[in-house]
Amino acid sequence: MSTIKPSVLILCTGNSCRSHLAEGILRAAAGDILTVHSAGSKPAGYVHPLAVRVMQEIGIDLAAHTSKHMNEFLSAPVETVITVCGNADQACPVFPGQVNRHHWPFDDPAHATGTEAEILAVFRRVRDEIRRTFEAYADGRRDALKSRVTPN
């Protein structure tokens, strides 16, 4: 059995919010079996401070994350590409060695308006939606790995 973990690339347009939420959650849920990265088709150049804040609330630190362009991963063996917004799905190239592609769109909390409490509520809602989706994905990947290793 190979010791190289499959690589998952999570794409969004700006790589400032949703893709980082998903990267942090998937890495926490399945970092032992997957290599997880995020990038954008038009990177914003920063990670949204409220994304960092709402992830701290669930014990995941995004402080060291940076906004990256998806082209940085074109020469890497990416097994799975997951887009989390409509624009990234349209702009997503095929990566060398790519086996799987998923498109799971989420609202962009960076576009939320209102009071700080209202904006934070949107960030938390999107974080929790991403968490449910990506933890379920991690569970599925873990189950698939077990079924390949364990004879039926």
Catalytic residue of the set 50, 52, 92, 126: 92
Helix locations, the chain, DSSP H = 18-30, 49-56, 86-91, 116-149
Dihedral sign from CA coordinates of 96, 99, 101, 102 = negative
In the annotation, is 17 catalytic?
Answer: no
> Starting from the edge strand earliest in sequence, which strands make up the sheet with 35-40, in order?
35-40, 7-12, 80-83, 100-103
Catalytic residue of the set 12, 28, 30, 39: 12
**45 within 8 A of 116, measured Cβ to Cβ:** no
Catalytic residue of the set 85, 88, 122, 138: 85
| CA-wise closest residue to 109 among 132, 133, 91, 85 | 85
User: What is the token pair recorded at 101?
Assistant: 């592609």
- Return the active site residues: 12, 85, 92
